[in-house]
Structure 1
Amino acid sequence: MKFKWLPLFLIVLLGCIWGSSFMLIKRGLAVFSPIQVAGLRLFLAGVILTPWVYRYSWGSKSMVLDETTGKTVKLLQPKDYYYLFITGLLGNAIPAFLFSTAGKLIPSGLSGILNAFTPMFTLIVGAILFKSSLSKNGFLGVLVGLIGAVFLLGPSILGQEGMQINLSGAAMALSAAVLYGYNINLIKIRLANIPPMAKTAYPFVFMGILYSFVLWQTGAIENYQMHSATTTGNFLPDNQFALLCICILGVLGSALSMIMFNYLIEHTTAVVASTNTFVIPIVAVAWGLFDQEPIHWNMIVGLLLSLVGVYLVMKKES
């Protein structure tokens, strides 16, 4: 029996999960440093996704038939492992650190809005670095998105009183979105023949291993123990609450959500699956309002323009 409502449910659910990630980062930062939040997130996601790495390297999915020779060969070649590592670095490790650092400097809702520029950066990077075509709708989407960015950042650049944001934090969030855009193009070109779950699992596992050394060197355990005696309005001590938020971020917000996203792509299309992009910034701003973060008119205008830009970009893709 097919559930026709399941794709729509997953789209909304994924939008809510990923839109909530910016608030979860904020809660984790109350105890851990930005690099520790990023590291714990990727380490936990890597642990959850390790079975798929085994499956595609040594298990039932590790061998495929080479149609030219008629022989079975390894699914993943050395160059594939190289690009899987690079996508993990550019698409997971560095953006996770950038968004965590931005979370110390700008409201979580603004991080969610700036993340919505990813589809537009995907087109820009594709056109400039990968020689991809840019249609009229794609160009208009990018243009509208840039106007939205002007509304978001303009008052701070001009020094308008009462509407200023930390431009360094905004630049970090936008840089993460640029890296997401580059990574999407890289995966599309260099890893086109790799199964979706392999493209998901290996980068997280690689970066989880890398970040495990970072966590050990930066004193994550000491930070956790330091906050064991404080409780700031939560139902748990601060250290346990922060760790719980990061566990949700890593397990649900990274690993399980990507499994759901790949299921959605498999049973619909990439364009349909990507419509959760409209939900993410709205949920992020809603969490910001709930947490009494400052929301100014220019942020709302920037949000609306970014959503229009995303619509035009996706219309081009469809």
Structure 2
Amino acid sequence: MDVKQLKWLYLIVLSLIWGSSFILIKRGLVGLTAIQVGSLRIIFAGVFLLLIGFSSLRKISRHQWKFIGLTSVFGTFIPAFFFAIAETQVNSSIVAILNSLTPLNTLVLGIIAFGIQFQKRQVLGVFIGLMGCLLLVFNGDSSQSGQNYYYLTLVVIASLCYAVNVNLIKKYLSDLNSLSITTGNFAILLLPALVILSFTDFTQKINFEVTQYSIGYVIILGVLGTGIANILFFKLIQMSSPVFATSVTYIIPIVAFFWGLLDNEMLTSIQFFGAFVILIGVYLSAKK
């Protein structure tokens, strides 16, 4: 399989994994707080990655560790908590939609801060995809009441963090394999996550059935949706462009909405049209 086909395969697989992560967060919040979900997500991913990739840490040079530290904060630590906190107040599918701001932020930050060049066609693709996202947002289920949409600012901040993350990796860590980057990230984050978790009431309710139910979903979220997915994502960044890699966030809402259908949430015809527009944006932004 050539690089062109492989990057599209990675994009689709990541879309399926991360599109499912929002429903996993929602299930995790049934028996856990947002801080506990964020901490456990990092802990489970960290343990898994250190088990399979500890030896890969030797490939990280001394000067690269500062960039590993930055990508761990922007690419994992802040988003893990912000997404969980946002989903305590806003429907998970809406959070998935707003995550699609990431490619636009990546493009702007790439031009302003990292000197990365993009073609007009890619800019057009980003804005078309964004329009599709707006269609989905403004035609959401009107029956969803009691939601605090101010919490969506956390999702916007998280998407900005993702944008910083992919540009850092593309510019400073392209010569490092994806397993080393991912394992290095979580080697740094594991201890802070354990400390944060220790300040919650997790140990007091770990024996509750509802807590164990939620932990099971967070394990899947941590190992598959964070550990394995980050390895694939960093590899995708290295073999393509930052804009193409973050265009995975355009397809994520489609997957999230299908999970919503299984949870008795209905899509309008406008929402289906918005999903189609998103795919057009992905195609245009991915072309060289």
Deviation at 1:153, TM superposition (A): 5.0
Contact 1:130 1:185 in 2 (8 A): yes
Instruction: Tell me which residue corresponds to 2:32.
Output: 32
1:298-317 → structure 2 map (5 Å cutoff): 299-315=271-287
Give structure 2 stretches of 5+ with no counterpart. Answer: none
Residue 67 of structure 2 corresponds to residue 76 of structure 1: no
SS in 1 for 2:176: coil
Q: Deviations over 1:190-235 (max 9, x none)?
A: 223222211111112211221110000122222434xx1xxxxxxx
- In the superposition, the TM-score normalised over structure 2's length comes to 0.83
Structure 2 counterpart of 1:203? 185
- Aligned residue pair count: 283
Displacement of 1:154 after TM fit?
5.3
Find out whether 1:97 has 2:69 as its counterpart. Answer: no
Mark the CA change 1:298 to 1:209 in structure 2 (over 3 Å): closer, same or farther: farther
Counterpart CA distance in 1 for 2:136 and 2:272 is: 9
Shift of 1:42: 0.7
Relative to the length of structure 1, the TM-score reads 0.76
- The letter for the 2-side match of 1:134 is F
Corresponding position of 1:238: 210
- SS of the aligned residue for 1:218 comes to coil
Say if 1:107 and 1:288, in contact at 8 Å, map to a contact too: no
Aligned 8 A contact 1:116 1:306 in 2? no
CA distance, structure 2, for counterparts of residue 81 and residue 43 of structure 1: 20
> Is the 1:107–1:293 contact (alpha carbons within 8 Å) kept by the matching residues of 2?
no
Tell me which residue corresponds to 1:176.
158
Pairwise CA RMSD: 3.3
Contact 2:89 2:151 in 1 (8 A): yes
Matches for 1:1-318 after TM superposition, within 5 Å: 12-51=12-51, 54-57=54-57, 61-62=58-59, 75-77=60-62, 79-153=63-137, 166-225=148-207, 228=208, 237-260=209-232, 269-270=239-240, 279-293=251-265, 295=267, 299-315=271-287, 318=288
Gaps of 5+ in 1: 63-74, 229-236
**TM-superposed deviation, 1:130:** 1.8
What's the offset of the Cα at 1:276? 5.5
Task: Name the aligned partner's letter for residue 110 of structure 2.
Answer: G
**Closer, same or farther: CA 181–299 of 1 in aligned 2, 3 Å:** farther
Q: 1:162 to 1:277 in 2, by over 3 A?
A: closer
Shift, 1:185, TM fit: 0.4
Task: Tell me, yes or no, if the aligned pair for 2:45 and 2:226 is still in contact at 8 Å.
Answer: yes
Instruction: Tell me the distance in 2 between the aligned counterparts of 1:76 and 1:83.
Output: 11
Query: Which has the higher Rg, Structure 1 or Structure 2?
Result: 1
**CA apart distance, 1:132:** 2.1
Identity %: 33
Please tell me the residue identity of whatever aligns with 2:85: T
